Amino acid sequence: MRNRMMIAAVIACTSLAVLAGENMQAKIEKLVAASFKPGEGQDMSRLVQDETQKLCSATRNNPKAKDADALTAREKATIKYPADNKLMGDWKEGEKLVKGGFGMRIGTIEPDPPAKQKGGNGGNCYACHAVDAKEVAAGNLGPSLTGYGKLRGQGEDMVKYTYEKLYNAQAFVACSSMPRLGHNGILKPEQIAHVTAYLLSPESPVNK
Ligand code: HEC
């Protein structure tokens, strides 16, 4: 009896804690949303979390293995490929996208005019990765990609993995901090193929 009461008490406390957690989450979301005003070129849709982001937020990027598997499978199913199905594009085009210090260009305010006025979105890879060994300004949130193709080869599986990883990083690492570049429309499938070539091609400076 005593044991049962203790268990009931523990369950009640846990439910309360979960409830408090949800309320806190909702409060934080409201606060963040209120700090952005529409009409200044912001992409307000980015404030709404999808199922994947909600799970990662609720679990502090550490979902249970079963949930993480369901998440990566769901993300993988969203990957789209270029119309001609060529996953290795032009590495020189890829280089421009990798170096582009922009992610999405959403502002209408200088110095960040909309994508259509200036060369499109960038990959902003150097914010998180070392890539070309000659470029010294690089972030280290992600692993170094210097020599990526030299180390990993250019086999069909590696080309496919690299393309898919760039298209949707969360198809592989459930709560990766890497942006879902294709999924979120930051880069188009053809552009992702160019970046894939930049990472893998033996001619690319990444592999020199
Ligand atoms: C906001 C940070 C961030 C940005 C921007 C970013 N990445 Fe990443 N990337 C990461 C992190 C963190 C990882 C490691 C976790 C993972 O695998 O998802 C990673 C992993 C990778 C991997 C897998 C490495 C491996 O060994 O398999 C590749 C390839 C990659 N990134 C390429 C890129 C390229 C190319 C760009 C730009 C188009 C880019 N990333 C932009 C953070 C970022």
Shared domain for 147 and 169, answered yes or no, is yes
Higher local confidence (pLDDT), 99 or 102: 99
Residues 83 and 52 in one domain: yes
Q: Is the CB of 133 under 6 A from ligand 1?
A: no
Q: Given this model, what pLDDT does residue 113 score? A: 53
Residues 86 and 40 in one domain: yes
Q: What percent of the chain has pLDDT over 90?
A: 64
The pLDDT confidence band at residue 152, using thresholds 50, 70 and 90, is: very high
Q: Stretch 61-78: mean pLDDT, rounded?
A: 98
Instruction: Tell me what percent of the residues of the chain surpass a pLDDT of 70.
Output: 79
Does residue 62 surpass a pLDDT of 90? yes
- What's the gap in Å between 123 CA and the centre of ligand 1? 10
The verdict on 186 and 206 lying in the same domain is: yes
**SS3 letters across the chain:** CHHHHHHHHHHHHHHHHHHHHHHHHHHHHHHHHHCCCCCCCCCHHHHCCCHHHHHHHHCCCCCCHHHHHHHHHHHHCCCCCCCCCCCCCCHHHHHHHHHCCCCCCCCCCCCCCCHHHCCCCCCCHHHCCCCCCCCCCCCCCCCCCCCHHHHHCCCHHHHHHHHHHHHCHHHCCCCCCCCCCCCCCCCCHHHHHHHHHHHHCCCCHHHC
Q: In this model, does residue 14 exceed pLDDT 80?
A: no
Q: Looking at the 3D structure of the chain, how many domains does it have?
A: 2
Instruction: Tell me the C-alpha distance between 162 and 68, whole Å.
Output: 20
**Domain co-membership, 71 together with 109:** yes
Q: Are residues 10 and 53 in the same domain?
A: no
Phi, psi angles (nearest 5°) of residue 179: -60, 145
State how far the Cα of 17 lies from the Cα of 146, in Å rounded to an integer.
45
Please tell me whether residues 41 and 122 are part of one structural domain: yes
Q: Are residues 31 and 47 in the same domain?
A: no
Q: How does pLDDT run across 114-138, given as a tens digit for each residue? A: 555 555 788 999 999 999 999 999 9
Nearest residue (CA) to ligand 1, atom 21: 142
Over residues 195-204, the mean pLDDT reads: 98
pTM of the model: 0.85
d(CA 99, CA 146): 14
Is any atom of ligand 1 closer than 6 Å to the C-beta of 88? no
What value does the mean pLDDT of the chain take? 86
Judgement on whether residues 194 and 122 belong to the same structural domain of the protein: yes
User: Is residue 53 domain-shared with residue 18, that is, in the same domain?
Assistant: no
Do residue 13 and residue 100 come from a single domain? no
Cis ω before 111 (30° cut-off from 0): yes
Question: What range defines the domain where residue 204 resides?
Answer: 36-208
Query: Residue 147: what pLDDT?
Result: 98
Judge whether residue 144 has pLDDT over 70: yes
Tokens of residue 199, six digits:
């990472």
Best residue among 148, 154, 178, 200 to mutate for probing ligand 1's pocket (most ligand atoms within 8 Å of CB) is 178
When pLDDT is averaged across residues 53-57 and rounded to a whole number, the result is 95
> Are 75 and 135 found together in one domain?
yes
What are the CA-CA distances from residue 178 to residues 105, 124, 128, 166, 173 (Å)? Answer: 17, 11, 8, 9, 9
